[in-house]
Amino acid sequence: MNITVLCGGISPERDVSLRSGALVANALKTLGHSVALADSFAGVENPADANFTTDPSPVPPIAKTEPNLDEIRAKYRVPGDRSVIGNGVIDLCRRADIVFIALHGGEGEGGQIQAALDCFGVRYTGSGHTAAGIALDKDLTKRLLRFAGVDTADWLRFDGNNQSDDTDEYGGGKYSNHNGRAEKIMKEIGIPCVIKPLTGGSSCGVTIVRREDELNAAIALAEKYQSDFIAEKFIPGRELTVGVLEDPETRRARALPAVEIIPRVGGYDYVNKYQAGATAEICPAEIPDDIAQRAAKIAETVHRTLGLRGYSRTDIIYEESTGRLVTLEVNTSPGMTDTSLIPLEAKAAGISFPRLCEIIATL
C-alpha cells in the first residue's frame, strides 16, 4: 500500500507525535509498504512530488520539556493565520491508499483532521471525527461511561467562558461556573484531587493536589493549556492501562494484556512517560486473573460505548484494598514510540511492532 503517515501537529504532544510517526513509517516500510511521512502542521511544499518510499526516515528524540507552540506557530504561520492543517497535507493524503494518523492530542486526536479527511473521502486509521472529539473531552467521556455503568471518579467541570452562577449536576459529575472554583472543589471534591485540562494528553497541565494551598497553582497550570478543566477526586491505587485492538476480519474489539505503570521517581508525568528507563512498565500486569479479566472487559466496554474504531487505550486505577477498578480516561490515538504502552501490550500478545502498525492500517 501507499501510506501517508501524519505526525507532528500543533499540540503539547507534538514531539511525541513526531517520534511516533517516524517509528510507524519505518515499521510499515520494513513490511514493503511505501510511505510518505508528513508533519500535518508544517505542511508539504510539493505534494505531487512527494515520494512514497521504503527508505528509512530519521527518528527524532523527545525532549524532556514540552515544545514551545508559540515558536512553532511563528515558524510556520503568518500572524493571524489560525489554520491547523499545513499547505499540501490534504493533497498528499488524497494520493495515499490509507492515512495513518500518528498525531496525539489537539486537532489530530480531537477529530478535526479526521473531519477534514472525511470531507474528501480519504480513508484513515483509528476513530472517526465524532468519536474522537467526544473521547478527547474528559467530561463528556466520563458522563457517557457512567451512563454505561463504568466506574469513574467523581468530578467537576469548569468552563472558563461561563461567568454565570449556574451549576448543573449529572450523575457524579457537576458542571460549574468560573467563580469560586477553589472553594467549590474543596467542598464538592475535596483533597487530594486531580486538576486536568479538559482535552489535554500526556499529563500536560495535570496536577495531583495533596494540600489546599496547592490548589490555585494547579488551576493556573491547567488554564495555561486550556480555559476549561476538570477537578477529579483522587483515587489511590495501582495504575493500569489496557489497550484494545480490533480483529481485522471480524472488527470485534479485543483487549490486549494489561500494563502496570510504576514511575521510578514521582508521578507518571511527561518526563516519566517518554524518557527511557524512567518508568517500570510491567506487562502482563502482575494482578489477580479476575482483576485482569474485569479490566479487559472495561476497556472493551469503553471502546464500544464511545463508538471508537480500530484501536484505543483505557487508563484504569486498581484500588487493591477494595478490588475497585476506576476508569480515568481513554486514548484514541495512543503513543507509538519505543516507550509507549500499546506496542508493549501487543508484543506481550505476540504481535510485533511492524505487524501492529499494519493491522491498524488494514483496519
| Cα separation, 363 vs 357, whole angstroms | 10
pLDDT for 307 equals 97
**Does residue 215 register a pLDDT over 80?**
yes
From 233, 261, 287, the end of a domain falls on 233
State the CATH number of the domain containing residue 39: 3.40.50.20
Determine what percent of the chain is predicted with pLDDT higher than 70.
90
Q: Is 31 helix (H, G, I), strand (E, B) or coil?
A: coil
Work out the average pLDDT over 23-29: 98
Tell how far CA 362 is from the center of its chain: 21
From 182, 199, 233, the end of a domain falls on 233
Nine-digit cell string for 312: 484505543
Work out the average pLDDT over 188-195: 94
Distances (CA, A) of 287 to 83, 284, 292, 321: 46, 8, 6, 13
CB 9 within 8 A of CB 106: yes
> Smallest Cα–Cα separation from 157: which of 174, 140, 143, 141?
174
Q: Tell me the longest C-alpha to C-alpha distance in the chain.
A: 60
Strand partners, 35: 3, 53
Question: With bands split at pLDDT 50, 70 and 90, how would you rate the model's confidence at 193?
Answer: very high
pTM of the model: 0.89
pLDDT for 150 equals 97
The answer to whether position 166 is within a domain reads yes
Question: With bands split at pLDDT 50, 70 and 90, how would you rate the model's confidence at 264?
Answer: low
Work out the average pLDDT over 70-90: 95
| Cα separation, 363 vs 356, whole angstroms | 11
| Cα separation, 353 vs 363, whole angstroms | 15
pLDDT for 278 equals 63
Q: 491498524: which residue's cell? A: 360
Q: Which burial class, exposed, middle or buried, applies to 114 when counting CB atoms under 10 A from its CB (0-12, 13-18, 19+)? A: buried
State the CATH number of the domain containing residue 272: 3.30.470.20
**Does residue 268 register a pLDDT over 50?**
no
The answer to whether position 162 is within a domain reads yes
> Smallest Cα–Cα separation from 102: which of 125, 84, 120, 119?
125
Work out the average pLDDT over 62-83: 92
The CA-based angle 177-152-247, given to 5 degrees, is 125
| Cα separation, 198 vs 111, whole angstroms | 15
State whether 7 and 121 are in the same domain. yes
State whether 11 and 53 are in the same domain. yes
**Does residue 269 register a pLDDT over 60?**
no
In tens, the pLDDT along 310-354 reads 999 999 999 999 999 999 999 999 999 888 999 999 999 999 999
pLDDT for 201 equals 60
Q: What 8-state DSSP symbol labels residue 332?
A: S
Q: Is 329 helix (H, G, I), strand (E, B) or coil?
A: strand
The answer to whether position 186 is within a domain reads yes
Count of Cβ atoms closer than 10 Å to residue 208 Cβ: 16
State whether 264 and 328 are in the same domain. yes
| Cα separation, 33 vs 3, whole angstroms | 7
| Cα separation, 337 vs 21, whole angstroms | 8
Picking from 38-42, 144-148, 160-164, 219-223, which range would have the lowest pLDDT averaged per residue?
Answer: 160-164
Q: Is 196 helix (H, G, I), strand (E, B) or coil?
A: strand
**Does residue 91 register a pLDDT over 90?**
yes
pLDDT for 210 equals 93
State whether 215 and 256 are in the same domain. no
pLDDT for 270 equals 44
pLDDT for 277 equals 60
Q: Is 253 helix (H, G, I), strand (E, B) or coil?
A: strand
| Cα separation, 17 vs 12, whole angstroms | 10
Domain span at residue 87? 2-125
Strand partners, 307: none
Structurally, the chain folds into a number of domains equal to 3
**Does residue 271 register a pLDDT over 80?**
no
> Smallest Cα–Cα separation from 199: which of 126, 271, 105, 129?
105
From 187, 206, 233, the end of a domain falls on 233
In tens, the pLDDT along 118-136 reads 999 999 999 999 999 999 9
In tens, the pLDDT along 59-68 reads 999 988 889 9
CB 330 within 8 A of CB 315: yes
Q: Is 188 helix (H, G, I), strand (E, B) or coil?
A: helix
CB 40 within 8 A of CB 89: yes
State whether 251 and 346 are in the same domain. yes
State whether 246 and 223 are in the same domain. no
Q: pLDDT higher for 275 or 231? A: 231
State whether 106 and 7 are in the same domain. yes
**Does residue 161 register a pLDDT over 80?**
no
Question: With bands split at pLDDT 50, 70 and 90, how would you rate the model's confidence at 117?
Answer: very high
**Does residue 163 register a pLDDT over 50?**
no
Question: With bands split at pLDDT 50, 70 and 90, how would you rate the model's confidence at 188?
Answer: very high
Work out the average pLDDT over 191-198: 93
